[in-house]
Amino acid sequence: MKRKLKIDLMSLIISVVFMAIAYFVKDEIIEIIFWSLAFIIGGRSKAVEGVKKTIEEKSLNVEFLMILSALAAFFIGNYQEGSVLIFIFALSGVLEEYVLNKSSDALESLMKLIPETAIKIQDDREMIVNINDLIISDIVLVKVGQQVPADGIIVKGSTVIDESMITGEYMPVAKEINSTVLSGTINQASAIYVKVSSSAKDSSMQKIIDFIQKAQSEQTKTEIGIEKFEKYYVYVILIAAVLMMFLPPFFKIWDFNTSFYKGIVLLVVASPCALVASVSPVMLSTMSRATKEGVLIKGANAIQKLSNVKTIFFDKTGTITAGYPNVISIDLYAPNKDQILSYIYHIEKQSNHPLAKSIVAYLEDKILIKNMELKTIEQKGRGMASVIDNQEYFVGKTNFNDIRIKEQQEKGYTTSEITLNDALIGIISFSDKIRENVGSTIKKMQGIYIETIMLTGDNQFNANSIAKNIGIDRVIANCLPEDKVKEIRKAKTNGMVAMIGDGINDGPSLTVADVGIAMGSGSDVALETADIVLMNNNIEKIPEIIKLSKKAKSIYTQNIIFSITVIIALIFMNIFGIVKLPLGVVFHEGSTILVILNGLRMLSIKKQ
């Protein structure tokens, strides 16, 4: 429990004790003293908060209004009501603080996972260094039971790594030479040597922490609207209370004592405490709940938008499929096949594209590799080209309407074509495994009336084959990054749109969509532009999070309607003399506590 929450809770307990003493003592002076002590101790924290906020924002706020109401109750001799009012108001503050603490628990847990030091290997010696002093390409030793100090690649040894703090999956993952390991994960089996691939500030763990910190500070449009309303509403209530105190006696509607009393009751019952607390606890609780499920939500706005999504676009490679294309075959229709394969190897070695990496891996043990210097040109979204001995070779996507290409595509394979001086001389066929549970995920989303569309740069045959397997509503194939953006913008005219992707080429689409969702294994660009990150790459979490966002919307809508209804009802009851100050205090502050408790339900809500 945080220090501030402990102090506030202790103040409330002391306040309750003093109120109990005041209630049972018979001496009037002692009774007033204890009611006053209960008032001061119980309201100290909220009073300080209200004054600071008033000075910083140079405007009155709900805290100021409640302190003024309690002081006014004391002024007319209603010591008990004033103390109870400030106690319940402080109690609602403690509950809000509890929500904030719960939402930051996940963040603090992650921060504790980052080790402060690392064992660096230098000149065959072990050195203990601060992780901030590590640079890319340093070699670090990670012993059994230790946390990996930085993102990197294993260069020596093999082990099993606990990645549950990153992915939410509790099954340890086997790692060997050339496997990637992430900072904060725990080495469980044997010592490994890791080559650092990113600095501490750019590590995967630090990015998650930055992500959550940004999320907790973001507000929805509803919250911003309520805050703006609060600023003006406070002044309206103050003016209305003053008018109620002095105008009715002037027109001989009520006597001065009755008018003054009703004015003070108005200050209490019309304060928008419950309304102000309607949204924030719900959103913070929702983000905290999602984090436990291995889903990072960048901010409350993403939750609000996700609850209204009508269409979801899926990138194919790395999202619907595992993203690890394997070469099935390379068919060549030209002489000198070994030489052409060598050219292809060296051309593709210049590219970081997944298909290029797959070609290089496939050819490494099938050809005699010789050193070759050549210049290549990467044609964005299409492939790689190079001029060798005055002949232009190209490997990538073409517009050939060739029966041999169609035959491979009809089998469900992705293809890259090999051309020599714009003539087709070969076809490379790839296959990519569909992720588990994609079909059931699509079905669940269709069950909540969300249209599902696959966007892919792949050919129509292969896209249709995958779409048939998973039951997706619609397919748009042969898309370049700019085509994906165009399709998303078109869909946005009919309602909220989400996009799920993982690669650098998905960055523009994730940005344009109302809600961008990135796979946790995706590129830095995808992770930075996304609103939501699936840390364990479990696409099955998407319908769960959508249902969670809809539940959050339902709860904060309930809170807003309930709090406004209570305020209006109490104002009219005060005018007609039905509600007195004690009852007004209980109803008003009770409604604030109820909306906060209603928001806390998101922490324990069962999976949908």
Q: Which residues are catalytic?
A: 315
The tokens of 222 are what?
Answer: 């509803």
DSSP code at position 319: I
| Cα distances (angstroms) measured from residue 604 to each of 212, 599, 608 | 20, 10, 12
CB proximity list for 558: less than 8 A, separation 6 or greater: 598
Q: Compute the chain's Rg from CA coordinates.
A: 32
Chain centre to alpha carbon of residue 161: 25
Distance CA 450, CA 492 (A): 13
Q: Where does residue 28 rank: exposed (0-12), middle (13-18), buried (19+ CB within 10 A)?
A: exposed
Rounded to whole angstroms, how far apart are CA atoms 538 and 306? 18
Half-sphere exposure of 430 (CA within 13 A, CB side): 27
What residues are paired with 379 via a beta bridge?
A: 383
| Rounded Cα distance, 117 and 133, in Å | 9
Q: Are 253 and 576 in contact (CB under 8 A)?
A: no
Judged on CB neighbours under 10 Å (0-12, 13-18, 19+), 537 is buried
First vs last C-alpha separation in the chain: 30
8 Å CB contact between 442 and 452: yes
Placement of tokens 């050549």 in the chain: 374
Token couple for 22: 């005041």
For residues 86 and 590, the answer to whether their CB atoms sit within 8 Å is no
Measure the CA–CA gap between 444 and 450, rounded to whole angstroms. 9
CB-based contact 532:517 (threshold 8 Å): yes
Q: Tokens representing 529?
A: 């532009």
> Cβ neighbours of residue 290 under 8 Å, at least 6 residues apart?
296, 297, 545, 548
| Residue 180, token pair as written in the block | 């990637």
Q: 533 in helix, strand or coil?
A: strand
Selection from 448, 427, 331 nearest residue 383 by Cα = 427
Tokens in use for 276? 């102000």
Spatial separation of the C-alpha atoms in residues 536 and 385, rounded to whole Å: 36
Question: Distance between CA 221 and CA 210 in Å, rounded?
Answer: 22
Bridge-based pairing of strands 159-162 and 173-175 is antiparallel
Contact call for residues 533 and 506 (beta carbons, < 8 A): no
